[in-house]
Amino acid sequence: MPHYLLSVHTAETSEPSVPMSDEERRRSFARLGALEREMQSAGAWVFSGRLHEPDTATVVRVADGDVLTTDGPFVEAKEHLGGFYVVAAPDLDAALGWAAKVTALIGAPIEVRPFAGFATEPSA
């Protein structure tokens, strides 16, 4: 079955004008948990993750044989990857259906992209 990346993007200016209360945050996490259990029972959920803020990133690269690390995101942008789901879906329409449910809960745009290949074990 094809796999799709549902990436959740956040913008520097996307912070809510009124912060969530602890109770609102608990309800939000409960709704997301219910959606993830729905994905799992449908056989679509592979895994998901929420990322820390972009300023926690470290970029690793090789230049002239030396390994260099720099603090901060690879791309200087106002929008960043905030989290993701990897789902198994029979086709793009099914993956878009899961993305619609996620975006309805979190209020952030979801980019859906098919994997060019997907391995559950390292290549031989």
Residue 122 lies in a domain: no
pLDDT bracket for residue 13 (50, 70, 90): low
pTM attached to this predicted model: 0.79
In a domain, 107, yes or no: yes
The phi-psi region of residue 65 (left if phi > 0; otherwise alpha if psi is between -120 and 50; otherwise beta) is left
- 39 lies in some domain: yes
What's the mean per-residue pLDDT of the chain? 87
**Nearest Cα residue to 99 out of 28, 37, 7, 29:** 7
Residue 99 covered by a domain: yes
- Say if 121 falls within a structural domain: no
- C-alpha 79/C-alpha 63 separation (Å) is 27
74 within 8 A of 122, measured Cβ to Cβ: no
Tokens representing 121 are: 């074990």
In a domain, 124, yes or no: no
Pairwise pLDDT comparison (118 vs 22), residue with the higher score? 22
Residue 123 lies in a domain: no
Output the CA–CA distances (angstroms, integers) from residue 49 to 24, 33, 54, 84, in the order listed. Answer: 20, 12, 14, 5
- 């009124």: which residue's tokens? 18
The answer to the question of residue 120 being in a domain is no
Which is higher by pLDDT, 108 or 111? Answer: 111
Containing domain of residue 52, as a range? 3-14+21-114
Q: What is the pLDDT of residue 101?
A: 96
Domain CATH for 25: 3.30.70.1060
58-86 confidence digits (pLDDT tens): 889 999 999 999 887 766 777 778 899 99
- What's the total number of domains in the chain? 1
pLDDT the model gives residue 114: 94
